[in-house]
A = this chain, B = another copy of it.
Amino acid sequence: MDRFFSDNAAAACPAVMDALAAANRLDAAYDGDAWSARLNAAFSEVFGRQVEALWVTTGTAANSIGLAMLCPPTGAILCHRDAHIENDEAGAPAMYNGGAKLMLLDGPGAKVTPQAVEAACARIRPDVHQVQPAALSITNATEYGLTYSAAETGALGELAKSRGLGFQLDGARFANAVVSTGASPADLTWRAGVDVMSFGFVKNGGMSAEALILFDPALAERAKVLRKRSGHLLSKGRYLAAQLLAMLDGDVWLDNARAANAAARKLAEAAGERLVHPVEANELFVRMTPDEASRIRAQGFDFYDWAPGEVRLVTSWDQDMEAVAKLAAAIETL
């Protein structure tokens, strides 16, 4: 059975396993260890500027702590209706900042457009009776596998700035977006006005470590307090830091994403007209009747039924390319 359920479910990559073994000795607790001490420098090199990087164990934590830096309890976060923070985090952002509201935007492929942001802001009266927008959140790559280019991100960043909104990036699949767009990490983030981001590793071959990146180092102190208060300051933090360092080292994170994207592209070519959205990362949404889906599954492949007549395929860093080729052929012969 070859599974195309979710990159969430894949194994951890060898670099990560090796790093865990190497870190398996006594060091200082929490984030006082030698690995954690190297994080800021390692991520600063990725981004070409000084950043603060905090390890956490989930994207939900990284998103929620980051958003709490930008949005007060009384404010609102603008995001797409299909965003992970709206649909898949059980209301975590409101728990972390004490009640913030998500204001939902529409747009194809889960992408936020400047027009949608403008329209949402225009609907709000600037008075004490209405919750006022305080932050904008986007996801790159999106929940439907689309990417924002550096220019698209920059346009949203400028708009956010002009409206006084903080700008957060959910980068659960940031690596896939970087290799897909060819843009630099810097151009897709701080140069485009992003203030904080969650930088995903787990879907990309990590085991249990994600990074919260603060482009404004002044935010780090508050973020560290909230990481502790939310129960995310692990006492043996070195095992998280080691995972992140191992994947940055030698660009494992980019190689892994390239592999996943390549597998998706291969399937996308086979799916052709059946695709619901352009495939720009490692997710495919494919029109398929229940009967067609059954026939594919009968050949040993598994995946989600996403909507009536539509399935979702997700490829991972370690997807077996032979299986991919077989699945592509199976789709083509439908």
Instruction: State the A residues within 8 Å of B (CB).
Output: 3, 5-6, 8-12, 17, 20-21, 24-30, 56-61, 64, 72-74, 76, 87-92, 94-99, 101-102, 104, 128-131, 202-203, 207-208, 222, 224-236, 239-240, 316
| A65 → B minimal CB distance (Å) | 8
Instruction: Give CA–CA (A35, B73) in the complex, Å.
Output: 30
Instruction: Give CA–CA (A111, B87) in the complex, Å.
Output: 25
Q: Which of B24, B88, B130, B234 contacts A90 (CB 8 A)?
A: B130
| B-chain residues with CB within 8 Å of residue A10 when the two chains form the complex | 26
| A59 → B minimal CB distance (Å) | 8
Instruction: Give CA–CA (A239, B73) in the complex, Å.
Output: 30
Instruction: Give CA–CA (A60, B231) in the complex, Å.
Output: 5
Query: Is the Cβ of B231 less than 8 Å from the Cβ of A56?
Result: yes
| A222 → B minimal CB distance (Å) | 8
| B-chain residues with CB within 8 Å of residue A232 when the two chains form the complex | 57-58, 61, 231-232
| B-chain residues with CB within 8 Å of residue A235 when the two chains form the complex | 6, 8-9, 58-59, 202-203
Instruction: Give CA–CA (A68, B228) in the complex, Å.
Output: 17
Query: Is the Cβ of B8 less than 8 Å from the Cβ of A228?
Result: no
Instruction: Give CA–CA (A291, B73) in the complex, Å.
Output: 42
Instruction: Give CA–CA (A53, B101) in the complex, Å.
Output: 28
Give me 10 A-to-B residue pairs in the complex whose CB atoms sit less than 8 angstroms apart, sorted by A's number.
A9-B235, A57-B231, A58-B233, A60-B228, A73-B98, A74-B91, A202-B235, A207-B239, A208-B240, A230-B230
Query: Is the Cβ of B95 less than 8 Å from the Cβ of A99?
Result: yes
Query: Is the Cβ of B74 less than 8 Å from the Cβ of A225?
Result: yes
Query: Is the Cβ of B89 less than 8 Å from the Cβ of A129?
Result: yes
Instruction: Give CA–CA (A259, B26) in the complex, Å.
Output: 17
Instruction: Give CA–CA (A76, B30) in the complex, Å.
Output: 23
| B-chain residues with CB within 8 Å of residue A228 when the two chains form the complex | 60, 89-90, 92, 128-129
Query: Is the Cβ of B95 less than 8 Å from the Cβ of A225?
Result: no
Q: Across the two chains, which residue of chain B brings its CB closest to A125?
A: B87
Query: Is the Cβ of A233 less than 8 Å from the Cβ of B60?
Result: yes
| B-chain residues with CB within 8 Å of residue A57 when the two chains form the complex | 57, 208, 231-232, 234
Query: Is the Cβ of A131 less than 8 Å from the Cβ of B90?
Result: yes
| B-chain residues with CB within 8 Å of residue A20 when the two chains form the complex | 17, 20, 207
Given contacts A88-B129, A130-B90, contact A230 B95 (CB under 8 A): yes
| B-chain residues with CB within 8 Å of residue A99 when the two chains form the complex | 91, 94-95, 98-99
| A116 → B minimal CB distance (Å) | 16
Instruction: Give CA–CA (A323, B99) in the complex, Å.
Output: 45
| B-chain residues with CB within 8 Å of residue A12 when the two chains form the complex | 24, 236, 239
Query: Is the Cβ of B202 less than 8 Å from the Cβ of A129?
Result: no
In addition to A10-B26, A89-B228, A128-B227, 18 A-B residue pairs with Cβ atoms within 8 Å of each other are: A17-B21, A17-B24, A20-B207, A56-B231, A57-B57, A57-B232, A58-B232, A60-B231, A76-B91, A88-B130, A89-B231, A91-B99, A94-B99, A95-B95, A98-B98, A128-B228, A202-B236, A203-B235
